A = this chain, B = another copy of it.
Amino acid sequence: MGLAFDATGLQAYLGEIFPQVADDFAIDALSEQGITMRLKVAERHLRPGGTVSGPAMFSLADVTVYALVLSRLGPKALAVTTNCSLDFMRKPESGRDIIATGSLLKLGRSLAVGDVHMVSQGSDRLVARSTMTYSIPPER
């Protein structure tokens, strides 16, 4: 199955549909195998002590899988998150972006499931892992 977007096109499209948050994220790479998404960590993502907040990590995992679904189904795709599991393994390193590597475990007619591994930039130690399920409503 081919890709409906390249990285630049998908980044631009995310900017259109999520103007509030798209600047937080950058697509570092996109291929048929998966996506690399960067959370550009800023003050607003931090908790006391300098750690990246849980909601910011959730947001990164969610946008990563949503971008994967869009990359396959194109801009007309509707998809809503129905389930998330998220494990936090280690404190991220302070002052570093978070790099998410995402791949689709399933892309069915009504459900898509994506897997996301998150590390601090320059490290290979897992900070968090998430599986996100999206429901794809039937076309009308």
From residue A110, how far is it (CB to closest CB) to chain B in Å?
Answer: 5
Q: Interface-forming stretch among A3-11, A28-36, A69-77, A87-95?
A: A87-95
A58's contact among B44, B54, B90, B126, by CB below 8 Å, is which?
A: B54
26 contacts between A and B (CB under 8 A): A20-B44, A53-B59, A54-B59, A54-B84, A55-B55, A55-B59, A82-B88, A83-B83, A83-B85, A83-B88, A83-B133, A84-B84, A84-B86, A84-B88, A85-B85, A85-B86, A85-B131, A87-B105, A89-B105, A89-B113, A90-B106, A105-B129, A110-B135, A111-B135, A129-B131, A133-B133
Interface set of A (CB-CB < 8 Å, partner B): 17-18, 20, 44, 47-48, 53-56, 58-59, 62, 80-90, 105-106, 110-111, 113, 115, 126, 129, 131, 133, 135, 138
